[in-house]
Amino acid sequence: METVELAITAFVTLFVIFDPLGNIPIFLAVTPRASAAERWRIALKANLIAGIFLLFFAFAGEQFLRALNITVPAFRIAGGILLLLLAIEMVFARHSGLRTTTVVEEKEAVQRHDVAVFPLAVPLIAGPGAMTSMILLMGNAAGRPAEQALVVLVLALVLAVNFVVLAGGSRIIAGMGITGVNVLTRIAGIILTALAVQFIIDGIDEVIV
């Protein structure tokens, strides 16, 4: 995969899966009494923890698959199906707990003093879709350290964008409204649908070849 193509694919995939705009209502819901400064600090901590978690999957994910005797093509197909389900949720604005937190998780989070780790870092940011995507993206750059470093840089960039959006969530909601956020989320879901199908096609091609 060309370097530019890899960078664009990685950025679009991670940005769409993180869905910063779509996560604003959940972020505000689990930080109801926090001040602007506290939300800034919580958002920063959550993204840093999620980044560490995703880096672990980026570099150890493929070895973990090998230990379970799962081939990379099989994981590409399975990952593509998972991302397709995520995309369908985004297009229809549904929340099953696969892409976002469940109602039970939100209630538990409100009772906690520190929500940065749960449910914000995991599973809101570093959820199943993000973990899967990091393994697939690093797999696409396997054997090429420069491209793997590029994927890590893109991850850091998307996390930075995610932090800025969540930290300024209340202002964004005030300006766009829930409807505006949902419209952008649906558009992102359509893009993710195409990316998910491509992952499935790549996995099938590897099996056939």
Q: What is the pLDDT of residues 28-82, one digit of tens each?
A: 988 888 899 999 999 999 999 999 999 999 999 888 888 989 888 888 898 889 8
pLDDT band at residue 8 using 50, 70 and 90 as cut-offs: very high
Any idea which of 40-44, 95-99, 149-153 has the lowest mean pLDDT?
A: 95-99
What are the residue ranges of helices labelled H in the chain? 3-18, 20-29, 36-67, 72-91, 103-110, 128-140, 145-167, 169-208
Per-residue confidence (pLDDT) for residue 180, from 0 to 100: 87
Residue 6 has pLDDT above 80, yes or no: yes
Report if pTM > 0.85. Answer: no
Segment 6-20 shows an average pLDDT of 93
According to DSSP, residue 141 is labeled T
